[in-house]
Structure 1
């Protein structure tokens, strides 16, 4: 595939943005923006808080994306499929908790039974790119082709068409939103403009697309990732991270909002880290009025706030 030019969202040290007229910086800011906050009047069943757990089974696609084919790097990803994913599925089953798995298509092709197990066990399988590509380096047609191919692959493997998408590395190119809308996704989970779901605006216009926001503080990778030849080193004790995530849940519970978490089988799936995930689920279970939802279910509940009779919330 060819690259048809760099996205204007890519860093450009020579841009001299301080010279931009107001029309220029407003154009960039307004391209993709958070609209009204989508909190329904009540969560299903009268619950006080919504909890949406997600897992990204990237497995071998991280090194493959960068053309790294050493057995050592690939084995790190394979750990997620062999050890991490089974532990996660067992823990979710024990707690009766549904989750959403955002899986790159190449990962699903390498581990088709795993992909099928997610939907068979009542979880949601959603799109996470083709090979965890860096979509901000792709042209519009190439990006659309990879997302379309990923959508077809997951549909063929499981017999169910995914309704949600999470972009690889949570990156958004100039054409990502257009691709998501054109392919008919019901929601995205890649942006960070709020703690609660919101409607995405395109150049100031409502799109009807629900965003289930993420954040790096509710992601296991920044705390635990290891790169032997780079500067990335695990810098947090698992129980220090548990304290952060517990505080995030407690605040969402007090506010009646959403607690969303992003995890990776090859990261959280290690024994000492699964221990804190178990403790987190035990902590949540001690609270009455918790609604566990897949991201698709959460998006559907949030969508009720788009109805004309619902009061409009502002971010």
Structure 2
């Protein structure tokens, strides 16, 4: 492949509009969970399928993490969006069904959590197709939201998301407000609900036997989350969380997340919404005829 390194904005989307959030709220909070399960460990390294201790990190989702996260959300009276790979929906259907039953949004997160690669376009499309099929056949869901596995995307994949009826993405890290993607041919693409990397729990709370990454506790995590939220709130943006049941479903991290969400939920100036709700508000407020 020839790479075009000519100077230009690499994301051609227009600037994000300033949004008035519902009911006079000053900012929004988007609670998103990536239910990767074992795909986090086998999607980009197939050899791990034969390493049962390594994959047991992801197996925690179905055995403990999903149920504890649902318990937390029920305790606080909050709704979230769960980005589920198709493989997870097939391998752990019984653990995923309560997510649907309790009224949370289900969104697309690939099939085997393979990182999208522009040099493997057909494989990337297959990940979308198989993910859609699995969510429909196992959970009865046709999702409208998408989060890129391993957080990557490229122009042809953005266009394919649109063709497949995926109306919003939550993967890019280049804004604090939602905006509408512009496809390479000039057509409108999905609405982006941007991610803030500071709110990805994987950065603070996961390691493995073969990984020297440090773990961070309450005194490191809560100050980062509180300060980043305070700034995003002051600027009128959306605080997007990238959480994983195999991380934030662990006992200490569950307690940290509970305390952070309880602080936000106690405020009267933050709109806590699912991705589908943010999409609907964006389209009604910025694109109404």
The residue aligned with 1:48 is 26
Provide the rounded CA distance (Å) in 2 between the counterparts of 1:305 and 1:38: 10
Instruction: Return closer, same or farther for 1:206/1:251 CA change in 2, 3 Å cut-off.
Output: farther
2:71 is aligned, of 64, 68, 90, to 90
Deviations 1:165-193 (A, max 9, x none): 11101111352112112212110111111
Deviations 1:58-100 (A, max 9, x none): 1111222211121101211111221111111001011110000
Deviations 1:126-162 (A, max 9, x none): 1101110122165222211220110121012222210
- Bigger CA drift: 186-195 or 173-182? 173-182
Matched, 1:285 2:265: yes
- Bigger CA drift: 66-75 or 249-258? 249-258
Deviations 1:195-236 (A, max 9, x none): 1111112348351421011132110011122132234x1242
Provide the rounded CA distance (Å) in 1 between the counterparts of 2:14 and 2:34: 26
Provide the rounded CA distance (Å) in 2 between the counterparts of 1:136 and 1:215: 22
The residue aligned with 2:129 is 148
The residue aligned with 2:234 is 254
1:59 is aligned, of 37, 59, 77, to 37
Provide the rounded CA distance (Å) in 2 between the counterparts of 1:245 and 1:78: 27
1:263 is aligned, of 221, 227, 243, to 243
Shift of 1:112: 0.6
The residue aligned with 1:80 is 61
Deviations 1:5-28 (A, max 9, x none): x695xxxxxxxxxxxxxx74246x
Provide the rounded CA distance (Å) in 2 between the counterparts of 1:36 and 1:136: 26
Asked if structure 1 preserves the Cα contact closer than 8 Å seen for 2:159 and 2:189, the reply is no
Q: How many residues align?
A: 286
Per the normalisation by structure 2, the TM-score is 0.91
The residue aligned with 1:128 is 109
The residue aligned with 2:96 is 115
Q: Which runs of 5+ in 2 are unaligned?
A: none
Provide the rounded CA distance (Å) in 2 between the counterparts of 1:137 and 1:79: 32
Matched, 1:234 2:217: no
Shift of 1:284: 0.8
Provide the rounded CA distance (Å) in 2 between the counterparts of 1:39 and 1:121: 32
1:243 is aligned, of 212, 223, 233, to 223
Asked if structure 2 preserves the Cα contact closer than 8 Å seen for 1:57 and 1:81, the reply is no
The residue aligned with 2:166 is 185
Provide the rounded CA distance (Å) in 1 between the counterparts of 2:159 and 2:185: 14
Asked if structure 2 preserves the Cα contact closer than 8 Å seen for 1:220 and 1:268, the reply is yes
Asked if structure 2 preserves the Cα contact closer than 8 Å seen for 1:39 and 1:305, the reply is no
Q: Which runs of 5+ in 1 are unaligned?
A: 1-5, 9-22, 310-315
Divergent runs of 4+, >4 A? none
Provide the rounded CA distance (Å) in 2 between the counterparts of 1:143 and 1:199: 22
